[in-house]
Chain A
Amino acid sequence: MSTLSFAVRDSSTMLRRNLLHMRRYPSMTLLLIGVPVIVLLLFVYVFGGTLGAGLGPTGDRADYANYVTPGILLITVVSAAQGTAISVAMDMTEGIIARFRTMAIFRPSVLTGHVLGSLIQTMLSLAAVTAVALLVGFRPTANLVEWLAAGGVLAMITFALTWLSVALGLVSDSVETASNLPMPLILLPFLGSGFVPTDSMPTPVRLFADYQPFTPVMETLRGLLLGTGIGANGIIAVAWCAVISVACFLWAKALYNRNRAA
């Protein structure tokens, strides 16, 4: 067999292992869906009236549910990424990783298994959170193609953040550290266009908000799902996702290959 077919076969074996883990411990997945759902309910039913009024002269709670949903979807992705970092760090404390390293298998397959597993888990979480958003008043105008494109954008940012969290899980020396390291990511939708338009922010914050990677992703999603303008945000979002994916893949690979025995 060629290297490529070994890579595919070993990665799919490891993916099966990760999916089995998720099936056996569904509480982790539920917990990861819980965070964005709570934030969604909080922002629609507690802050939604006031924040909706800030969106424009006719703005109300229903408009805010539409506005906030793309931000909530990114909170979902970040929450799942935290779960990935934890499960990678937990895996690294297990003796079985040493066994994998002494086998003639496609070496990064342990990591690709985690990434593909997390990608599936996150897409399912996103579907669940979108369903809750629809229940609380999210009214997208997207056609099928736009839905698919939005799914693609979410898959890209998930893929990028999953590689980041795999690297964070590897760089952590304990499961606790792995759980804390991705925490700041959850602030990024807030420090961007996720919850309020950036032009309402003071200049230094607004500059950060406009140029950080989450904002173009959220603007692209908003454009696809609600028909607002996308402009250059689509290209910028794709570029950010590609850069984060490649950089974090290389970082994770280097971390996995270093000698950890001591």
Chain B
Amino acid sequence: MISSTNPAIVATGLRKSYGDKVVLDGIDLMITEGTIFALLGPNGAGKTTTVQILSTLINADGGSARVFGNDLTRAPDAVRRLIGVTGQFSAVDNLLTGRENLNLMADLCHLDRAAGRRRIAELLDQFDLTEAAGKPVSTYSGGMRRRLDLAMTLVGEPRVIFLDEPTTGLDPRSRRAMWHIIRALAAEGVTILLTTQYLEEADQLADRIAFLDHGRLIAEGTPRELKRLIPGGHVVLQFADQEGLDLAAGTFEAATRDDAALTLQVPSDGGVGSLRSLLDQLERASISVAGLSVHTPDLDDVFLTLTGQPDTRAGRPDHERAPAR
């Protein structure tokens, strides 16, 4: 899938504050052409601000960035010709129909009439919007709006696409459909920077992930590399009584016990072999277990380990945020 190592986006030391509030505190990014890069973090971490800066919507207070070698501040129009942005808040014209919205984009991308019409028919078909094309967007469902939004972004065939929380607020089926579309775009060689607060989404889609917290990048790597950053998985044994817990704690010396919950956490890679030997040991010691769960490290663990605190904000949908203006 990664056919080149040509950098599509290079950013160094991006900083941005609003008043006293530091939103971005020196961000460095290097995103290879044709890859999916996920910017992951809780609300207020600076994800949207990063996208707004890289897509020329706002200026950074410090640092610099280039898209395919074009400097954001010195050649913004050259950058704009290469990028497409689908923001968190649907960037469609509600008073127009789906087709009129796409027409508007074709005109603004300066496509000639025939090419524009061909491209629009193609996109309507690809995004399953042909039937709804003549209806005003105000009658569209959330999933349809999001698809139209992305289709509008793609009219000009951008080489870099910014997707700011592309699946926030979508139902599971629409989310899967969106993932499918994103993968297909990357397969065509489009570079994608997406932001998400869903760890699973980053894990599913991204070639590389960067964790953003309070305006700083706290880790960056492939999903596999990031998972390796934290201690391995474990098996949690649940007991019916104190006696069982005591017995088991004696058997597994490396385990950590939780007397209040009557559980024992045994380090394990979660594989079938180690599970079998664990069960054998329990069998031999005649310990009865009330329940068992296998825990393999996921990005949540990585995030919690890196931030050193359970982050209650991650994963919460952010309906309460005001639209960016």
Hey, what's the 0/1 contact readout for A61-103 against B, CB within 8 Å counting as 1?
Answer: 0000000000000000000000000000000111111111111
- In the complex, which residues of chain A have a beta carbon less than 8 angstroms from the beta carbon of B168? none
Q: Which of B52, B77, B96 contacts A261 (CB 8 A)?
A: B52
Q: Which of B91, B93, B108 contacts A105 (CB 8 A)?
A: B108
A96 and B93 contacting across the interface, CB-CB below 8 Å: yes
A95 and B90 contacting across the interface, CB-CB below 8 Å: yes
Instruction: Tell yes or no: A144 within 8 A of B by CB.
Output: no
In whole angstroms, what is the CA distance A25 to B138 when docked?
13
In whole angstroms, what is the CA distance A92 to B324 when docked?
10
Instruction: Tell yes or no: A17 within 8 A of B by CB.
Output: yes
Hey, what's the 0/1 contact readout for B303-324 against A, CB within 8 Å counting as 1?
Answer: 0000000000000000000011
Hey, what's the 0/1 contact readout for B79-93 against A, CB within 8 Å counting as 1?
Answer: 011011101011111
A98 and B324 contacting across the interface, CB-CB below 8 Å: yes
Known contacts A96-B92, A98-B324; is-contact A104 B107 (Cβ 8 Å): no
Instruction: Tell yes or no: B202 within 8 A of A by CB.
Output: no
In whole angstroms, what is the CA distance A105 to B55 when docked?
14
B18 and A262 contacting across the interface, CB-CB below 8 Å: yes
- In the complex, which residues of chain B have a beta carbon less than 8 angstroms from the beta carbon of A104? 77-78, 80-81
B96 and A102 contacting across the interface, CB-CB below 8 Å: no
CB distance from B202 to the nearest CB of A (A): 23
- In the complex, which residues of chain A have a beta carbon less than 8 angstroms from the beta carbon of B100? 20
B contact patch SS: loop
- In the complex, which residues of chain A have a beta carbon less than 8 angstroms from the beta carbon of B174? none
Instruction: Tell yes or no: A10 within 8 A of B by CB.
Output: yes
**Which interface residue of A16, A92, A94 has the most chain B CB atoms within 10 A?**
A94
Instruction: Tell yes or no: B110 within 8 A of A by CB.
Output: yes
In whole angstroms, what is the CA distance A70 to B89 when docked?
45
In whole angstroms, what is the CA distance A98 to B153 when docked?
12
Q: Closest residue of chain A to B156, judged by CB?
A: A103
Q: 28 A-B Cβ contacts within 8 A?
A: A1-B110, A6-B110, A9-B110, A24-B95, A93-B325, A94-B91, A95-B92, A96-B91, A97-B325, A99-B85, A99-B87, A99-B153, A101-B57, A102-B57, A102-B85, A103-B80, A103-B109, A104-B77, A104-B78, A104-B80, A104-B81, A259-B58, A259-B59, A260-B325, A261-B49, A261-B325, A262-B324, A262-B325
Q: Closest residue of chain B to A1, judged by CB?
A: B110
**How large, as a class, is the contact surface on chain A?**
20 to 34
In whole angstroms, what is the CA distance A262 to B52 when docked?
10
In whole angstroms, what is the CA distance A94 to B152 when docked?
15
- In the complex, which residues of chain B have a beta carbon less than 8 angstroms from the beta carbon of A102? 55-57, 80, 83-85
In whole angstroms, what is the CA distance A258 to B91 when docked?
19
Q: Which of B57, B96, B110 contacts A98 (CB 8 A)?
A: B57
CB distance from A19 to the nearest CB of B (A): 11
B94 and A98 contacting across the interface, CB-CB below 8 Å: no
A95 and B89 contacting across the interface, CB-CB below 8 Å: yes
Instruction: Tell yes or no: B104 within 8 A of A by CB.
Output: yes
Q: Which B residues, 35 to 92, have Cβ-Cβ distances below 8 Å to chain A?
A: 49, 52, 55-59, 77-78, 80-81, 83-85, 87, 89-92
In whole angstroms, what is the CA distance A104 to B67 when docked?
14
Known contacts A13-B107, A105-B108; is-contact A98 B59 (Cβ 8 Å): no
CB distance from B139 to the nearest CB of A (A): 13
CB distance from B63 to the nearest CB of A (A): 16
In whole angstroms, what is the CA distance A217 to B57 when docked?
41
Q: Which A residues, 229 to 262, have Cβ-Cβ distances below 8 Å to chain B?
A: 259-262
CB distance from A175 to the nearest CB of B (A): 12
Known contacts A20-B96, A259-B58, A261-B58; is-contact A99 B91 (Cβ 8 Å): yes
**Which interface residue of A25, A102, A105 has the most chain B CB atoms within 10 A?**
A102
Q: Which of B56, B89, B95, B136 contacts A101 (CB 8 A)?
A: B56
B57 and A261 contacting across the interface, CB-CB below 8 Å: yes
Q: Closest residue of chain A to B48, judged by CB?
A: A261
- In the complex, which residues of chain A have a beta carbon less than 8 angstroms from the beta carbon of B57? 98, 101-102, 261
In whole angstroms, what is the CA distance A9 to B152 when docked?
19
- In the complex, which residues of chain B have a beta carbon less than 8 angstroms from the beta carbon of A92? 325
Known contacts A94-B94, A98-B324; is-contact A17 B104 (Cβ 8 Å): yes
- In the complex, which residues of chain A have a beta carbon less than 8 angstroms from the beta carbon of B18? 262
In whole angstroms, what is the CA distance A136 to B57 when docked?
53
CB distance from A91 to the nearest CB of B (A): 9
CB distance from A157 to the nearest CB of B (A): 28
Known contacts A103-B80, A260-B325; is-contact A17 B85 (Cβ 8 Å): no
CB distance from B196 to the nearest CB of A (A): 18
**Which interface residue of B80, B84, B325 has the most chain A CB atoms within 10 A?**
B325
B324 and A261 contacting across the interface, CB-CB below 8 Å: yes
CB distance from A133 to the nearest CB of B (A): 32
Q: Which A residues, 117 to 170, have Cβ-Cβ distances below 8 Å to chain B?
A: none
- In the complex, which residues of chain A have a beta carbon less than 8 angstroms from the beta carbon of B152? 99
CB distance from B184 to the nearest CB of A (A): 22
In whole angstroms, what is the CA distance A10 to B104 when docked?
10
- In the complex, which residues of chain A have a beta carbon less than 8 angstroms from the beta carbon of B81? 104
Q: Closest residue of chain B to A99, judged by CB?
A: B91
In whole angstroms, what is the CA distance A1 to B111 when docked?
12
- In the complex, which residues of chain A have a beta carbon less than 8 angstroms from the beta carbon of B52? 261
- In the complex, which residues of chain A have a beta carbon less than 8 angstroms from the beta carbon of B110? 1, 6, 9
Q: Which B residues, 265 to 307, have Cβ-Cβ distances below 8 Å to chain A?
A: none
- In the complex, which residues of chain A have a beta carbon less than 8 angstroms from the beta carbon of B78? 104
B95 and A20 contacting across the interface, CB-CB below 8 Å: yes
